[in-house]
């Protein structure tokens, strides 16, 4: 269901796309109170794993300590573990059980893994909420049609959304371009929509192809916006990361009003 009582800044999800817990902690310390949630994704997950397992690392215990402190500082309602689980149902279910034991607010599974895999994640979600990844925002229409998806992004996202609802997932992750299509299908009203590929007018689009501004995305129906580089590396004219986050929150507030 569309989230109406969420503070504008709390609709911002910041990806911790860095390669060490120390770097991530600096972002958390700087932006706590200015964004609503922090997303731990594959770069940080595998960088931490490498720091613990690669023999050349002389301080694995220190790395583990930093990571534990990081997880404590963003635990619960402020944490989105971007796992992108995609495997057979049994494996997804067991992995979901492990992830949910950390008490994160959100974790995700690839909708392309199929209905049974999503159901396995939902069955083992604990107090966490399961989101479904659909078509990545870096994939354009031609690539989507020519890949395993075999169709244009809009049609595939709608197909996945209905599958996610049937499986009992809490929400969907999709590009801004599919927001109106999803919100027009009222059978999907109870799905949260988390939207990456959001770029303010003053920021570069980088490697995103299906993008929208924060205000446009909120007006189109997004509940949460995943915004990284425009906040962590804003243009000099915008100021600091905190300045960028505040500016985006103001844009969200204006869109909600």
Is there a contact between 170 and 129 (Cβ–Cβ < 8 Å)?
Answer: yes
End-to-end C-alpha distance for the chain, whole angstroms: 19
Which DSSP state fits 27?
Answer: H
* Residue with token string 């000099």: 236
**How far apart are the C-alpha atoms of 111 and 99, rounded to whole Å?**
17
* Residue with token string 């731990």: 40
Is there a contact between 118 and 192 (Cβ–Cβ < 8 Å)?
Answer: no
**How far apart are the C-alpha atoms of 216 and 240, rounded to whole Å?**
23
User: Which residue among the candidates 30, 84, 116, 219 is catalytic per the annotation?
Assistant: 84
Residue 227 has which token pair? 């915004």
Per DSSP bridges, beta strands 224-226 and 192-195 are parallel
The CA R_g of the chain, rounded to the nearest whole Å, is 18
- Active-site residue 84, yes or no? yes
Is there a contact between 16 and 27 (Cβ–Cβ < 8 Å)?
Answer: yes
Question: Which residues on neighbouring strands pair with residue 85, listed in sequence order?
Answer: 109
Active site residues: 84
């Amino acid at each position: 269901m569309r989230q109406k009582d969420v503070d504008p800044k709390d609709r911002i999800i910041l990806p911790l796309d860095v390669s060490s817990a120390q770097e991530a902690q600096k972002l958390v310390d700087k932006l706590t109170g200015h964004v609503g949630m922090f997303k731990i994704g594959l770069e940080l997950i595998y960088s931490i794993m490498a720091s613990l397992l690669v023999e050349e690392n002389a301080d694995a215990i220190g790395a583990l300590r930093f990571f534990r402190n990081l997880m404590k500082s963003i635990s619960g309602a402020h944490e989105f573990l971007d796992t992108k689980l995609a495997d057979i149902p049994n494996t997804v279910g067991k992995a979901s059980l492990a992830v949910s034991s950390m008490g994160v607010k959100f974790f995700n599974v690839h909708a392309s893994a199929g209905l049974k895999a999503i159901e396995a994640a939902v069955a083992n979600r604990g107090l966490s909420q399961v989101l479904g990844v659909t078509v990545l925002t870096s994939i354009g229409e031609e690539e989507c049609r020519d890949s395993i998806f075999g169709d244009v992004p809009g049609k595939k996202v709608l197909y996945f959304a209905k599958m996610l609802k049937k499986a009992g997932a809490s929400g969907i992750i999709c590009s801004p371009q599919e927001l109106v299509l999803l919100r027009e299908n009222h059978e999907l009203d109870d799905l949260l929509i988390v939207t990456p590929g959001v770029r303010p007018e003053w920021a570069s689009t980088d490697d995103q192809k299906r993008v929208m501004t924060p205000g446009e995305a909120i007006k189109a129906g997004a509940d949460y916006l995943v915004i990284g580089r425009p906040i962590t590396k804003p243009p000099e004219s915008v100021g600091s990361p905190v300045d960028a986050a505040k500016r985006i929150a103001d844009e969200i507030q204006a869109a909600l009003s």
